[in-house]
Amino acid sequence: MASSSCSIDLSGPTYCIVSGASQGIGRAIAAEVAKLLGPKSLMLLLARKADELAKTASMCQSDNVKAIYKSIDLGKASTKEMNDVIVNSLEGYKVTDFATCLIFHNVGSLGNLAIETARIEDSNELAQYYDLNVFKVISLNTQFLKIFEAVEDRIIIVNITSLCAIKPMSGMAYYCSGKAAREMYFKVLAEEKKHIKVLNYSPGPVETSMIDYVLTEAVNDNLRDVFTSFKNQGVLLKPDMTARKCMKVLQAGKFTPGEHVDYFDDE
């Protein structure tokens, strides 16, 4: 990991969004970051499943942190809906109330694993995949930047990426290409807005429902073998393990703008 300027202090009043916060890595990140936030902090948790979001919110709520949640399908939400959900969460607050304005882009999906890469031709299915995993992530991020423009130097953006963004994985053309496009967007943003802290964090192989999805849906033998090996050898990380590493990397602040940092990278 490259060395950067200084550590990041989250102990002041912080506004924090976590997308895909209803389960797995998103829930773990929300719970871990909530422990670090100072008094008068506000968290907005986004995902589709309201009942699961409520559980995550209860894990984050404390004397220091007010945790609210909104059920929203980010793959279908309009720009106005994204803007409204952030603006509405700020009722009773001003953007200048917060010392740090933080967003974790965790929402994502694996895409169609039941088709060989050379056979991909359904442009509608591809469009739906990219809507959720790339285009709507960009839209949400843009609304966040607009709303907090007056305090832009306080913004921190964390994109939950993957090793698959920089290394091809047989049988995962949707996922690899989507992660690569998404990560490059954040790298370009970091290049243009050097006063905004941008981190691309790769969480490593994590024990979530996505593992079972791969084993059930994948038609690529190599992909199934890799994930079967992960599961059988017990090398999968628990969500809270990678969430704690993400917080450690974030607080240390040693990453360069838009840098890709993996769970297994040296600190």
CA angle 187, 143, 73 (to 5 degrees): 95
Q: Which pLDDT score is estimated for 137?
A: 98
Residue 222 lies inside a defined structural domain of this protein: yes
Look up tokens 């690899």; give the residue.
176
Residue 2 lies inside a defined structural domain of this protein: no
Give how many domains the chain has, as a whole number.
1
Residue 7 lies inside a defined structural domain of this protein: no
Distance of alpha carbon 230 from the chain centroid: 22
For residue 79, give the CATH number of its domain.
3.40.50.720
Residue 1 lies inside a defined structural domain of this protein: no
Convert the pLDDT of each residue in 154-202 to its tens digit. 999 999 999 999 999 999 999 999 999 999 999 999 999 999 999 999 9
- pLDDT greater than 60 at residue 5: no
Convert the pLDDT of each residue in 22-71 to its tens digit. 999 999 999 999 999 999 999 999 999 999 999 999 999 999 999 999 99
- pLDDT greater than 70 at residue 2: no
Residue 119 lies inside a defined structural domain of this protein: yes
- Domain containing 189 equals 14-262
pTM (2 d.p.) = 0.95
Residue 87 lies inside a defined structural domain of this protein: yes
CA distance 61 to 172: 37
- Give burial (CB, 10 Å; 0-12/13-18/19+) of 199: buried
Q: What is the mean pLDDT of the chain?
A: 95
Residue 3 lies inside a defined structural domain of this protein: no
